Amino acid sequence: MVSLEYVSKTYRLPKGQLEAVRDVTLHIPKGTIHGIIGASGAGKSTLLRMVNLLERPDRGKVFVGEQELTALSARQLREARRSIGMIFQQYNLVLNRTVSRNISMAMELAGVPKRERLARIEECLKFVGLEDKAEQYPSRLSGGQKQRVAIARALANGPKVLLCDEPTSALDPQTTADILEVLRHVNQTYGVTILIVTHDMNVVKKICRRVTIMEQGQIVRTVAADELEGMGDA
């Protein structure tokens, strides 16, 4: 479903260059939940952001399904990104928009008719258990509720792939468990392929089928999640 083939990314900094990702090849099967773990600076978030080309690789190819994203025009890439949702550590909600209007944003950009948008907002809010928060503003929500809104927003366009960049690192253990259960439900209900970046080994043990371990911009190994027993945080 998701394939990265020999991708690399180098940042040019005032004091030189930083090779964040180096010649990485990774294949994620359709319908799975796959973790990417590693210490800060290992390159895991850069790798994740290359899946939807928020970070364009300097070399290598990115495929989602049968489509090579790295070969698309800007217009074609905008279309392709509608099938790829993303959830961030800090939620990235628009503070002056209500919950329902936050969820509506991607559909508005896609030109979805208003009646269809309203029905989809209701469906997504019900899915994440926030039907009563539609007209609230993000400032009135807890961290866990904000992340549920972010998940609902990511689901609005019916994505095939969901990218999660440290989605639970700002949350307490119980709220983390709740969010992971929502993500598991997304996977089981809609068959969405989920990639989740985290530094927390316990997160991938709870939700992931397979896990890729990164160090210094490269993959050290990819293993089944149950092979991580006995290991601590990355």
Amino acid at 47: L
On average, the pLDDT of the chain sits at 93
Distance CA 25, CA 220 (A): 11
Please report the pLDDT score of residue 148 as a whole number.
95
Please report the pLDDT score of residue 124 as a whole number.
95
Residue 95 has pLDDT above 70, yes or no: yes
Domains of the chain, each with CATH number or no CATH: 1-83+159-234 (3.40.50.300), 93-158 (no CATH)
SS3 per residue for 78-132: HHHHCCEEEECCCCCCCCCCCHHHHHHHHHHHCCCCHHHHHHHHHHHHHHHCCHH
- The backbone torsions φ and ψ at residue 85, rounded to the nearest 5 degrees and listed phi first, read -90, 160
Please report the pLDDT score of residue 115 as a whole number.
93
Please report the pLDDT score of residue 27 as a whole number.
96
Alpha-carbon torsion angle 170, 33, 160, 90, nearest 10: 10
User: 98 versus 111: which is more confidently predicted?
Assistant: 98
Distance CA 191, CA 194 (A): 9
Burial class (CB in 10 A: 0-12, 13-18, 19+), 128: buried
User: For residue range 118-162, what is the model confidence (pLDDT) as tens digits?
Assistant: 999 999 999 999 999 999 999 999 999 999 999 999 999 999 999
Residue 234 has pLDDT above 60, yes or no: no
Please report the pLDDT score of residue 229 as a whole number.
67
